[in-house]
């Protein structure tokens, strides 16, 4: 299994069949190519850590191959039930994973299968690649990124605001998705790389041709899982659009860079997908001596929003104009007050 996610080339193999099947879903539909932030190799073993491995996280000795650092372990990473062993340098992260759930994790994995699938994806793929991208200066940002008529648009907003409906409408009109949930962003060149994950949606409500549902994959709120039919690895962000639903008439309002950056940073810090990432990244950075202990989320949002037009889009209960039309009106949109 292989693919690009978060600008990192992932190569994964599993000795456990059920984990391999889940990894195939996580990386399904991922673009291929050389990672802008290097490579992550994942091996899921059927054997356990040695009995004296302890708990928590720790760093061991430096191996003899240049700046490569080995002997780093995270136990029960992201509360997933997987223990992870790391061998890292600035261009590659090697991860060995072993399924060693405690009683609580084992019970929850049996009862809450959708939760366990999310935790597996986070611990084995998403969080290691986010950290690997972070060693190259990229920062995680909560939002979806689309290529709309040649322009990169970062869209963010609270849960339930209608982001999925808007994204589906744009994809049906010919836009290409870079990410539908999370990206990593390099503030120096504004390049956003998508974090690949299954699309979670009510597929009966999506326009034809946008995505392919996976059989027998149910998740929360009656939704299913599937893959977007068209996806790109990265795009330069040319505009930031924040969604709101306040009952006003649909329309676009220009936002000041400061207000937009504040909202985008807040959306990132409150994103459930990243809740377990902050301690994961801090522990790994401290043990490895690589990458930031805390990603520069606020600084990155400020730099991005100072460099590109920012707007707030009021979405109504019915589909509004296409995003491309709204962006064309951005310069004449009223200023936020």
- What tens digit of pLDDT does each residue of 158-207 get? 777 777 778 888 888 888 889 888 999 998 899 999 998 877 767 667 76
Q: Which of 96, 114, 136 is the endpoint of a domain?
A: 136
Q: Are residues 149 and 34 in the same domain?
A: no
CATH number assigned to the domain comprising residue 272: 3.40.50
Lowest mean pLDDT among 15-19, 45-49, 175-179, 261-265: 45-49
Say whether both 121 and 186 belong to one domain.
Answer: no
CB 168 within 8 A of CB 260: no
Domain boundary among 136, 161, 184: 136
In a domain, 81, yes or no: yes
Host domain of residue 164: 140-196+231-328
pLDDT of residue 221: 62
Higher-pLDDT residue of 9 and 64 is: 9
Q: Residue holding tokens 């009656």?
A: 222
The alpha-helical segments, DSSP class H, found in 27-126 are 103-111, 113-121
Q: What percent of the chain has pLDDT over 90?
A: 46
My answer on whether 37 and 158 are in the same domain is: no
By three-state DSSP, how is residue 281 classified? helix
Q: pLDDT of 81-98, one tens digit each? A: 999 999 988 789 999 999
Q: Domains in the chain: how many in total?
A: 2
Which is it for strands 69-74 and 82-88: parallel, antiparallel or unpaired? antiparallel
Identify the pLDDT of residue 326: 73
Which residue, 16, 26, 14, is CA-closest to 4?
Answer: 26
Q: Residue 238: enclosing H or E segment and its boundaries?
A: strand 234-244
pLDDT tens profile 299-316: 999 999 999 999 998 876
The torsion angles phi and psi of 294, rounded to 5 degrees, stand at: -135, 125
Q: How far is CA 135 from the centre of its chain?
A: 16
């Amino acid at each position: 299994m292989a693919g690009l996610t978060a600008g990192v080339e992932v190569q994964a193999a599993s000795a456990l069949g059920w984990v391999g099947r889940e990894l195939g879903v996580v990386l399904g539909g991922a673009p291929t190519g050389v990672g802008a932030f290097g490579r992550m190799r994942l091996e899921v073993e059927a054997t356990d850590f040695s009995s004296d491995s302890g708990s928590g996280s720790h760093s061991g000795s430096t191996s003899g191959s240049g700046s490569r650092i080995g002997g780093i372990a995270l136990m029960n990473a992201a509360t997933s039930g997987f223990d992870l062993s790391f061998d890292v340098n600035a261009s590659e992260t090697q991860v060995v994973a072993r399924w060693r759930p405690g009683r609580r994790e084992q019970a929850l994995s049996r009862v809450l299968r959708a939760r366990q699938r999310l935790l597996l994806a986070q611990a084995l793929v998403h969080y290691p690649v986010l950290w690997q991208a972070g060693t190259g200066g990229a920062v995680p940002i909560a939002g979806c990124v689309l290529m709309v008529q040649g322009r990169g648009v970062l869209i963010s907003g609270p849960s339930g605001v209608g982001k999925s409906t808007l994204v589906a409408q744009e994809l049906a009109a010919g836009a290409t998705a870079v990410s539908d949930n999370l990206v990593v962003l390099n503030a120096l060149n504004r390049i956003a790389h998508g974090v690949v994950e299954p699309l979670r949606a009510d597929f009966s409500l999506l326009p034809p041709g946008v995505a392919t549902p996976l059989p027998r994959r149910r998740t929360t709120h009656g939704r299913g899982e599937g893959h977007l039919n068209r996806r790109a690895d990265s795009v330069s962000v040319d505009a930031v659009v924040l969604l709101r639903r306040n009952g006003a008439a649909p329309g676009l309002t220009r936002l000041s860079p400061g207000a937009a950056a504040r909202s985008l940073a807040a959306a990132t810090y409150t994103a459930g997908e990243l809740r377990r990432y902050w301690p994961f990244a801090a522990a790994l950075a401290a043990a490895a001596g690589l990458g930031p202990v805390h990603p520069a989320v606020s600084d990155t949002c400020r730099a991005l929003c100072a460099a590109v037009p920012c707007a707030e889009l009021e979405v109504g209960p019915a589909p509004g104009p296409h995003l491309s039309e709204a962006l064309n009106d951005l310069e004449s949109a009223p200023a936020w007050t």
